[in-house]
A = this chain, B = another copy of it.
Amino acid sequence: MTEIQSPDTAKPAGKIMLVGIGPGSQAHMTARAREAIAEADVVIGYVTYIKLVAELLEGKEVVRKGMTEELDRAVSALEAARAGKKVALISSGDAGVYGMAGPTFEVLFQAGWTPDDEVKVEIVPGASALNACAALVGAPLTHDFCAISLSDLLTPWPVIARRLDAVASADFVVALYNPKSGRRTRQIVEAQRLFLRHRRADTPVAIVKSAYRRRERIEFSTLDRMAEADIGMLTTVLIGNSHTFVRHGLMVTPRGYANKYDLDAGGDTREGEKPGRSLSTGLLGWLDTLQAEHAAGASAEALALRHRLPLDYIVSTLSEPVEAAELADAATAGDEA
C-alpha cells in the first residue's frame, strides 16, 4: 500500500500490519512477514510470540501483552498508528486464523475507521498451526478438513459441541486449536465423547506441541486414548477421518486415488472411470443413479436414507434432472485447468 503524507500536518501516515509469523522458526516465516517487522516502528504481540521474533526487534518499540488482551493489543496498535507509526501486530501462524485480524477490525470499525482513513491496514498471511503440524506428521490434511477451537472463553459450549458433532459425523479431518489449558481440562474429554459417537476408537490422532519451535513434541495416539495425552495451550490436535492411517510413523489421509486408479495394478484406471473426469459416483453420475433408483420405485424417503442426505435435498435434486446439455458440456469441455 502506498503511504500518503497527510497534507495538513505533514505527519507521516501510520499503518497497521497484521503479520502472521508462521509456526515460529524464521525458516517458515514469509519474506513479507519478515520485511513488515523490519519496517515497523512498533511491534505488538503476545509475550510468547514476541520471543519468537526477538532477533528482528533491535531498535524497535516493543509492546508485550497477555494472552487474553487481544482487544487491548488492537487498541494500542491503532493509537500508535494514529500517531504516525508503522505498527506490526504479530500473530503466530496466520493472522487471520484465530489471530489478530478479527479483533483488530472489530476495534477499528468501533473507532470509526474506514479503508479511506489515513491509517492503512495490511494483512500478511502465514502458515497456520494446522499447516505446520500437518507438515511434521505426514499428510493428514490431504482431504476436507476443519479447524475448531475448544476455547469457551468467547464461544458458548453448545456452539462448539454442535460443530464437533457435525464434522465428526461428516468424516472431516479436524484440527483442534486451544484444546486444553490449566482451567479448561474437560473440553477435550467432551470432544472425544462427541467424536466417538461417529468414529472408530482407533482413529489416528496426532498431538503436536510447539511445532518448529525449540520444545517441539509429536505424539501419535488414537481417538479413545487422546484425552490422556500431554495436551496444553501450545498443542494442536489432529484427528484423522475414517480413511486416515499411520504407517512408519507418518499420518496420511488418502486423497482418493484408489477410487479411480488401481494402485496395486500399476495405476491402471478402474473400470467405468476416466482420468481427468468426474468419478462415475460424481455429481452427474450420482444424479443419474438417483433418477434411475427413483424410476425403479424407490421413494424420496428411501433415497434420503440410502444416501444419508436430507429428504428435501433429495426431493429438490429429483425435480431437476441432469439435462442433456449439461452432460454434453461435461463431455466436451477441456480438461480441468
Interface residue A132 (Cβ < 8 Å from any Cβ of B): yes
Interface residue A318 (Cβ < 8 Å from any Cβ of B): no
Complex interface residues of chain A between 166 and 181 (CB less than 8 A to chain B): 166-167, 169-172, 178, 181
Query: Please, which residues of chain B bring their CB within 8 A of the CB of A330?
Result: 183-185
Q: A159-B171, A197-B310 are in contact. Are A127 and B30 (CB under 8 A)?
A: yes
Q: A20-B127, A30-B28, A135-B123 are in contact. Are A144 and B163 (CB under 8 A)?
A: yes
Interface residue A51 (Cβ < 8 Å from any Cβ of B): no
**A128 nearest CB neighbor, chain B only:** B131
Query: Please, which residues of chain B bring their CB within 8 A of the CB of A138?
Result: 101, 105, 123
Partner of A110, one of B23, B125, B145, B263: B263
**A48 nearest CB neighbor, chain B only:** B337
Complex Cα spacing A10 to B149, Å:
50
Contact between B144 and A145, CB atoms less than 8 A apart: no
Report 11 cross-chain contacts, Cβ distance below 8 Å, ordered by A residue. A26-B31, A28-B125, A101-B142, A103-B257, A127-B127, A143-B155, A144-B147, A156-B286, A184-B283, A193-B317, A197-B310
Query: Please, which residues of chain B bring their CB within 8 A of the CB of A312?
Result: 197
Query: Please, which residues of chain B bring their CB within 8 A of the CB of A115?
Result: 248-250
Complex Cα spacing A326 to B183, Å:
9
Interface residue A29 (Cβ < 8 Å from any Cβ of B): yes
**A234 nearest CB neighbor, chain B only:** B337
Query: Please, which residues of chain B bring their CB within 8 A of the CB of A284?
Result: 186
Contact between B310 and A165, CB atoms less than 8 A apart: yes
Contact between A186 and B152, CB atoms less than 8 A apart: no
Interface residue A335 (Cβ < 8 Å from any Cβ of B): yes
A contact residues vs B (CB 8 Å cutoff): 20, 22-23, 26-32, 34-35, 66-68, 70-71, 94-99, 101-106, 109-110, 114-115, 123-128, 131-132, 134-136, 138-149, 151-163, 165-167, 169-172, 178, 181-187, 190, 193-194, 197, 233, 247-250, 252-257, 259-261, 263-264, 267, 275-279, 281-287, 307-310, 312-313, 316-317, 322, 326, 329-331, 333-337
Complex Cα spacing A324 to B71, Å:
33
Complex Cα spacing A263 to B28, Å:
35
Partner of A68, one of B96, B158, B276: B276
